[in-house]
Amino acid sequence: MVLWKDDYGVGIPDIDEQHKHLFDIANRISELLANELLVDKYDHIVAVLNELREYTIEHFAAEEAYMIEHKYRKLLSHKALHHDFIEKIDAVDLNQIDNEQNLYLKDILNFVTEWLISHILQEDKQIGGLSEQ
């Protein structure tokens, strides 16, 4: 389980709610990994990856619109980090998933949680005070 902590809040209610939803998706990946009764997880993996990709694109667009509205000076570098995340999700070879489903789930869960937490704490926290400037 990937638990939301108040420390992850950036002080922008809409963005914090979107981040919490991304944590929910990560938790569904964790639950899928832990489900020993489900022998073939392929369709579930594809579905959660698609949801992760689509919701993340929506979230990144909202975050970037906020940064544009508040004239955030690091917009381009922040946007590049978002692009890299989507590229990583797009690079998933669905043919490889079928061979080692649990190993793949572990890898994607680690990537998503590590990226999400470090991105929020190191990058998104910087946009939290923009409305006060």
Task: Write down all domains in the chain, each with its CATH number in brackets.
Answer: 6-132 (1.20.120.50)
- The more confident residue out of 43 and 98 is 43
| 3 state SS of 75 | helix
pLDDT tens digits, one per residue of 3-24 = 999 999 999 999 999 999 999 9
pLDDT tens digits, one per residue of 56-97 = 999 999 999 999 999 999 999 999 999 999 999 999 888 888
- Distance separating alpha carbons of residues 12 and 64, to the nearest angstrom: 13
